[in-house]
Structure formats: structure tokens, C-alpha cells
Amino acid sequence: MVSTRTGLDIDSPYPLTAAQIAQFRRDGFIKLKQVLSPEVLAHYGAVITAEVQRLNTLHLPMEQRNTYQKAFLQVMNLWTKNDTVKEFCFGQRLARLAAELMGVKGVRIYHDQALYKEPGGGITPWHADQYYWPLSNANTVTAWIPLQETPMELGPLAFSIGSHEFEAGRELGISDESEARIGRSLKERNYPLNDTPFDLGEVSFHYGWTFHRAGPNTSNRPRAVMTIIYMEDGIRLIAPKHKNHQADWDTWMPGIKIGEVANSHLNPLVYSQDG
């Protein structure tokens, strides 16, 4: 389907194969080429970038930042702040891909976040996203959407292949410690690394428990990335196990009680097989 307002296609099905689905579930991630057209990325990317510039609150010089702050400018839930970004985040192509890769009937948005690695920005340390999420199962996936071609000097996302099955290090948030300990554990267990560049229009999907990192931005231009985190429709809130769980509950699932389906007004259903 093509948007009648913009003439841009963000809704038609992407031709996903059974082999690609099997690869995703085996490796814990997949990179898919030509998911979004250059025109789609140019149109929505310009709006996302303007919103990041408007809403960003991190203005410290790079040398005064900690490791997390050096990694990227992080602006979250843009879909709630701009109707054009909402249109993008509600696009059926990406949401359907998330559902089909995970093998679930429907997906809700957990939240979105723009991750802009500035020129001179540092590494993104090894971590697994689901450390932060108080959710009842692992049917979660992050779509990592570069808004430009992303060669090595911009710091593309890198994945530890098959690491969604590896439990050591799951108790660590993004930090210098996670970079050292998780990196060492993965190397000791001989998990292979995929750290290839991203073509324009290429999008990756990774499970919540897949370990990943990114290199520094050694170029003179920002690495602009939009992400959308999808969770299975029907997933439930669990009791928080640490302060980050509590913070995520308060921020992304307001009003939901422990044991209830995570379906607050901030967790819209964006794709369902039932239409």
C-alpha cells in the first residue's frame, strides 16, 4: 500500500522467505536489504532528524561525557511527539516483518528511539536490550533503521551471532563493564561476529537478548538511526528485578499492573494478522 498523503510505500509486505525466518531464529538477528526506499528514508529521516535536534537535551562537550553519553544522542518515543514520525512508526512493512520473524500473530510498540552517533562519538558497548525490559517472554525485537548508508567509519551495529541463547552477561546494562565482560565471554565461547556495513535501505532486526555493540563514529558526519522496539501482542509485565525494570515500567507501560498484558496507551497494536 502507498500512502495517499505522501505517495511513499511503508506498508506493503516485504518478501520474506522461510530461509530468512530460520536464519533470524538461529542467529538472533538478520539484516535485510532494500526494506525502505531512498525516498522513504529521505522524507521521514528529515523529520526524525529535526525532532532529534529539537528534543535532544544532551549538550555536554564530548570530552565531558561518560561512555553511555558518548555513544549516541538518544531521543525516545518520537511517535508521540510528531504525526509524521507516528506515521512512520505505525508502518505495516516493518511491523509485519517483526511479527513474521518472531512467529507471532501481532506486535505492539514497546517504544521507539532515535540513536544519533555524533562525529567523534564513542563505542556503544556490548549489551542485550532486554536487560532493561520487565517483560514475560523473549518475543521482542528491535528494528534498527539507518537513515543513510552506514559504512564502518560511522559505527554500524554489530551482532554476536547466536548470542540470544547465551545467558552470561544478561545482568549488565550498557557500560564499560559490559563491554569488557560480555566481549570477553563471547570471545571465550567462540561466538562469531557480524560487523558489516549497512547499505542505504538496509534494516536489521535483532531479538531482545541478542548481544550487540557498535564502533565509534570516526567520520565528520552524524550516524542517524531510528529504532522501533516491537513486542508480542499479549506479552505481560513482570515484577521488576532491578531499578532499570522499574524505570521502564513507569515510563513505557504506565497504569499496567504486574501480570497484566502490556497494552497501555503507549503500547499501540501496530500489526495483527487478523487485520
How far apart are the C-alpha atoms of 211 and 18, rounded to whole Å? 24
Amino acid type, 251: T
* CATH number of the domain to which 73 belongs: 2.60.120.620
pTM here? 0.95
pLDDT band at 142; cut points 50, 70, 90 = very high
Q: Which pLDDT value is given to residue 179? A: 95
Is residue 75 assigned to a domain?
Answer: yes
How many Cβ atoms are within 10 Å of 5's Cβ, its own excluded? 8
Is residue 192 assigned to a domain?
Answer: yes
Is residue 124 assigned to a domain?
Answer: yes
Give me the helices (H) in the chain, please.
18-27, 38-55, 67-71, 83-89, 92-102, 176-188, 243-252
pLDDT in tens, 100-116: 999 999 999 999 999 99
Is residue 63 assigned to a domain?
Answer: yes
How far apart are the C-alpha atoms of 106 and 231, rounded to whole Å? 9
234, three cell numbers: 499479549
Is residue 45 assigned to a domain?
Answer: yes
Amino acid type, 48: I
Is residue 261 assigned to a domain?
Answer: no
Give the chain's domain count: 1
Provide the domain limits for residue 227: 18-233
Average pLDDT of the residues in 88-106: 98
pLDDT in tens, 149-164: 999 999 999 999 999 9
Q: Which pLDDT value is given to residue 6? A: 66
Question: Is 88 in contact with 42 (CB distance < 8 Å)?
Answer: no
DSSP symbol at 250 = H
Q: Which pLDDT value is given to residue 79? A: 98
Is residue 8 assigned to a domain?
Answer: no
pLDDT band at 2; cut points 50, 70, 90 = low
Contacts for 122 with CB less than 8 Å, ≥ 6 apart: 62, 67, 70, 71, 216
pLDDT band at 233; cut points 50, 70, 90 = very high
49, three cell numbers: 532528524
Q: Which pLDDT value is given to residue 224? A: 98
pLDDT band at 4; cut points 50, 70, 90 = very low
Is residue 93 assigned to a domain?
Answer: yes
Q: Is the dihedral angle over the CA atoms 53, 54, 58, 61 positive or is it negative?
A: positive
